[in-house]
Amino acid sequence: MKNFTKVVYFVSVLDLLFSGCQTGNHRANGSYELIKSQLKLLAVNFKVAKTLTTRKDVVTIRSLNSDGTLNLIPSKDWCSGFYAGSLWYGSILTGDTELQKLAVEFTTPLEQEKLNGKTHDMGFKMMCSYGQGYHLTKDSVYRDILIQSAKTLTKRFNEKVGAFRSWDHSKDKWQFPVIIDNMMNLELLFWASRQTGDQQYYNIAVKHAETTLANHFRADNSSYHVIDYDSITGKVLQKTTHQGFSDSSAWARGQAWGLYGYTMCYRETGIVSFLYQAEKIAAFILNHPNLPADKIPYWDFDAPEASVRPRDVSAAAITASALLELAQFSPSKKDFYIKSAETILKSLNKDYLSKPGENKGFLLGHSTGSYPQHVEVDVPINYADYYYLEALVRQNNFNHLKK
């Protein structure tokens, strides 16, 4: 298969890096006892909250509501896999077997999503849960669920557009919307291609990344949030935002998704244009004049100073994790990327990490989900915790290789 030599090389490197911290003996960043206790507390609080709701479909938690209660969600929610993924990562970092049992418990209810063709977020839901579980356990049941998930995701690909449809809602606003976030779901397809030998998964993942590269980015390498396409001709109809300050602004988490997505795509393919794009996005983020000194961005890089400008810790955590992977592929910029990621992690540990028992068990506070919709503003959110833990795992792996 095309590029599979590169793929095998990159995957073997990542497996070496990943295996370096499975012993749970490294304690370089933050309090691992805090991580362990908070993750367990969140499970306890979820189970209590579940007994108090009349909803029968909730399977996990997403964030805190404005009144401090847990925001409970069903498996179809795009965030349903992150807490399970945090538990898998927590078990790696701490060596705690109870966390791994909880990871299994919170992964299992997501199985039905393997057939949910109404969402593009299959990678978020299934790779963060079943994908992490399969990497650690090699459970063939997990593998089968992931392959079916990838099959289901392929149904959203439009050959004329050369991309996967993102949302099915708001059809009065967009004909065929593609959001920068969708780059994150391609990892599931690359994984399925390696597992099955089916080139189709690889080809359409690459095509989506190429289409996004061609249309999502401005001259300064910031990205639009939403590109709307004509589903018949593939023509770009409009370039807009949904969660950013304006159509022309740089929504912070969107930039992080792009950085992470193109870094991952280079790892999986060896296509140099993907590496260059990741480096360009990193430069935009890290050199931006509106990036605070602690490198925890405001929710949008272009949000005016006169307005309320909450930070977005989730964007910082995603960026830190992506930079630690990008450092592996960019020797000339390696030290800069690692130092930048370390600054982010130090800032998170110092000023944004929950105290014991705080935030119902979430690890990090002060994320911003969707400021324009007044949804999840300045609260803990599960994907911030997930990418924070992933960044700690990756940082530990670098420390392991130095020894």
Residues 173-184 pLDDT 10s: 999 999 999 999
Q: What is the pLDDT of residue 333?
A: 98
Low pLDDT (below 50) residues in the chain: 1-30
Q: What are the C-alpha distances in Å from 195 to residues 206, 220, 275? A: 17, 37, 24
pLDDT (0 to 100) of residue 5? 36
* Tokens standing for residue 257: 């998704």
Nearest one of 35, 148, 133, 45 to 60, comparing CA atoms: 45
Q: What's the pTM value of the predicted model, to 2 decimals? A: 0.93
Which is catalytic among the residues 77, 121, 300, 385? 121
Distance from C-alpha of 310 to C-alpha of 186, rounded to nearest angstrom: 30
Using alpha carbons only, give the angle 98, 100, 104 rounded to the nearest 5 degrees: 115
Out of 15, 139, 144, 181, pick the active-site residue: 181
Question: What per-residue confidence (pLDDT) applies to 199?
Answer: 98
Give CA–CA dist 329/15, Å, rounded: 15
Rounded CA separation 233/403 (Å): 55
Residue 399 has a pLDDT of: 72
Largest Cα span, the chain = 57
What three-state secondary structure class fits 364?
strand
Looking at residue 398, its pLDDT comes to 75
Q: Reduced to 3 states, what is the DSSP secondary structure of residue 283?
A: helix
Q: Which two tokens stand for residue 389?
A: 């833990």
- The alpha carbon of residue 290 and the mean position of all alpha carbons in its chain are separated, in whole angstroms, by 23
Crossing angle of helices 199-215 and 252-269, rounded to 10°: 140
Strand, coil or helix: 73 = strand
CATH assignment of 4-402? 1.50.10.10
Output the six-digit token pair for 353: 């990490």
Q: What pLDDT is stored for residue 9 in this prediction?
A: 34
Task: Tell me the C-alpha distance between 106 and 133, whole Å.
Answer: 11
Contacting residues for 245 by C-beta, under 8 A, at least 6 apart: 251, 299, 300, 302, 303, 304, 371, 372
- Please list, residue by residue across 52-74, b when 16 or more beta carbons sit within 10 angstroms of its beta carbon and e when fewer do: eeeeeebbbbbbbeeeeebbbbb
pLDDT for 36: 97
pLDDT value for 21:
37
Both tokens of 327, joined, read 């450092």
Catalytic residue list contains 121: yes
C-alpha to C-alpha distance for 399 and 403, rounded to whole angstroms? 7
